[in-house]
Structure formats: structure tokens, C-alpha cells
Amino acid sequence: MSLQYPPLVVMGVQGCGKSTVGAVVAQHLGLEFVDGDDLHSAANKEKMASGHPLSDADRHPWLSAIGQVMADKLAEGTSAVVACSALKRSYRDLIRSFAPGTRFIHLTGSQELIAARITGRDHEYMPPALLDSQFQTLEPLGDDEPGLAVPVTESPDEIAVRVETYLQATAGSDGA
């Protein structure tokens, strides 16, 4: 029997492995993977590349685009796994306004661990200097939010198995 999975957002601060883990989770579940970075406007990318964090106003069209992608997938009768920082509850609420059943997989780790991971990393527009602002902005999943927190110390394959187990255990519920 095939389980219809809800839309998933793999979330967390820069350098936590959202794209890598998201791609593995999507492959494991047989879903399409969408890298939310690809949906940023050129202006947002330029702003971040210059070392300036995005404002909520900058993020709103980007988060709406992510929500719309998820809604479009649901309209097609499927869902997707999207890598997106989704740092604040209000950002997650905006995504859920497009795709209400969305579940969030929060990749967690200490700022020191994440900083060590991004040292020497060459990213198109996310310099390591933005990590402080990301941790300052981060609002972990609330107890009433549908999702799962997973430590970044687990391998992408281990995380994919945990996500599938979580989805099976919460099938038919709100996931909270």
C-alpha cells in the first residue's frame, strides 16, 4: 500500500544540511525535491551575498513562492520535499497558508557545530557572517506545530528513515 505523504519542508539555519538531507528524504519517499534557494529573487541573493540578512518583507515573496510550489504539487495529486530555512513560526504559517498539511523537519545543531561545517564552504550567496543573524532569528518548532526535530549529527539516510517513521506514525493526524 502506498502512503500519500504530506508536503515537507526541511528547515534550519544555513549550513545545517537542508539541501543534502532534503534530496535524500525526497528520494527515500519517492517525492520531488525542490531547493528553496532556487526560488529566491536576484535582489535577495545580492543582498545576502553582500552580508546583509533579509528582512521579513524581503522573505515574504520567497516564502509565498515556496508555498505556491507546494500548493501546485498538491493540486497535481502529489507533494514535494522543499529545503527552506523557515526560521520563524510566521514564515512556516505563511507556507502552511498555501499548503495546510505541510510538515516541517527541523535540522538542529549548536551554532558552534554549524559554524564549523560552513568554514571554508563556498556558497553562492550565504556568507558565514550571516550565521549569527540566522540563529538570532530562529524560532524552533512549537509543540503545536506539525513536525520533527532531528539532530544534524545523524546521517542523511538515518534522517530519511526517521522522517518516514514519523510520517507513518502520524498519518491521518495533524502531525503535532
User: What is the tens place of the pLDDT at every residue in 30-41?
Assistant: 999 999 989 888
Task: Count the Cβ atoms, other than its own, within 10 Å of residue 8.
Answer: 27
| pLDDT score, position 128 | 55
Residues in the chain: 176
| 101-159 residue pLDDT tens | 999 999 999 988 888 887 755 544 455 567 888 898 999 999 999 999 999 999 999 99
Q: To the nearest 10°, the Cα dihedral for 27, 33, 37, 42?
A: 140
Q: Greater confidence, 105 or 175? A: 105
| pLDDT score, position 74 | 92
| pLDDT score, position 25 | 97
| pLDDT score, position 150 | 97
- CA nearest 22: which of 103, 98, 124, 113? 103
> Is pLDDT above 90 for 15?
no
Given pLDDT bands bounded at 50, 70 and 90, which one contains residue 44? confident
Classify each residue of 10-24 as buried b or exposed e, where b means 16 or more C-beta atoms within 10 Å of its C-beta: bbbbbbbbbeebbbb
| 49-96 residue pLDDT tens | 777 777 889 989 999 999 999 999 999 999 999 999 999 999 999 999
C-alpha 90/C-alpha 52 separation (Å) is: 21
Is 117 within 8 Å of 15 (Cβ atoms)? yes
Q: Greater confidence, 27 or 3? A: 27
> Is pLDDT above 50 for 3?
no
